[in-house]
């Protein structure tokens, strides 16, 4: 099975409606997709092929970001990517050294974080991954996300950042609700209304 076939199956899983990847592979591959993928391999072998396909998937995703439209209106957020149940943290081996304990509005987890920027058309502009304990407002994360972007970006108060002025000089106005310990930034009424509608 080629890398392109592996990538196709990984991407199609997101549109398949299946909740379990193993069931998706063994059920759909064995029936509906057999004619499209005649050189099928077993599920365990496919998992090994996924590790080889990850760099290609990363490059493809970054390429898609480069082809997104720069509209000047963006939204930033992060998503937790748990790698195991909290009760199995000490036994987990696969992401040891990469995954960390983190906290979100839904509670503690052990894993990674995906930080993502989209435009107002829903197109991904940029993304990066971090260990779970890296804050959303981390200066390095924000610099990587907003590289070469200009315009207004809306996020929740977790993105209230100490590098607001640096981003502003770059051309990015980061619009968030402020935390109690931070000073307010002047915001035109038009942008305030737009942010309120976005929430």
Q: What is the pLDDT of residue 97?
A: 82
**Is the pLDDT reported for residue 126 higher than 80?**
yes
Query: Which of the four pLDDT bands, split at 50, 70 and 90, describes residue 180?
Result: low
**Is the pLDDT reported for residue 30 higher than 80?**
no
Q: What is the pLDDT of residue 185?
A: 53
- State pLDDT tens for residues 44-95: 888 888 888 888 989 989 998 988 999 999 999 999 988 888 888 888 877 7
Mean pLDDT of 12-31: 86
Residues in the chain: 199
In whole angstroms, give the CA distance from residue 65 to residue 23.
Answer: 30
Residue among 159, 176, 154 at smallest CA distance from 72: 154
If you average pLDDT over every residue of the chain, what do you get? 83
Mean pLDDT of 174-188: 61
Tell me how far apart the 2 most distant CA atoms of the chain are, in Å. 61
**Is the pLDDT reported for residue 169 higher than 90?**
no
**Is the pLDDT reported for residue 197 higher than 70?**
no
User: Scanning the structure block, which residue is given the tokens 């915001």?
Assistant: 187
**Is the pLDDT reported for residue 162 higher than 80?**
no
Which residue ranges make up each domain of the chain? 3-66, 73-198
Are the C-beta atoms of residues 96 and 89 closer than 8 Å to each other? no
């Amino acid at each position: 099975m080629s890398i392109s076939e592996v990538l196709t199956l990984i991407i199609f899983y997101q549109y398949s409606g299946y909740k379990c990847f193993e069931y998706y592979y063994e059920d759909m591959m064995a029936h509906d997709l057999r004619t499209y993928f005649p050189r099928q391999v077993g599920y365990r072998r496919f998992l090994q092929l996924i590790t080889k396909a990850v760099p290609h998937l990363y490059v493809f995703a970054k390429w898609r970001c480069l082809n997104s439209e720069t509209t000047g209106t963006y939204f930033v957020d992060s998503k937790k990517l748990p790698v195991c149940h909290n009760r199995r943290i000490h036994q987990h081996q696969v992401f040891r050294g990469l995954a960390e304990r983190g906290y979100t509005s839904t509670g503690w987890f052990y894993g990674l974080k995906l930080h993502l920027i989209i435009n107002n058309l829903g197109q991904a502009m940029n993304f990066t991954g971090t260990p779970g304990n890296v804050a959303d407002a981390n200066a390095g994360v924000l610099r990587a996300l907003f590289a070469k972007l200009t315009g207004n970006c809306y996020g929740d108060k977790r993105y209230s950042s100490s590098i607001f002025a640096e981003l502003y000089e770059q051309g990015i106005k980061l619009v968030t609700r402020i935390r109690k310990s931070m000073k307010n930034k002047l915001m035109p009424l038009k942008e305030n209304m737009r942010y309120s509608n976005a929430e």
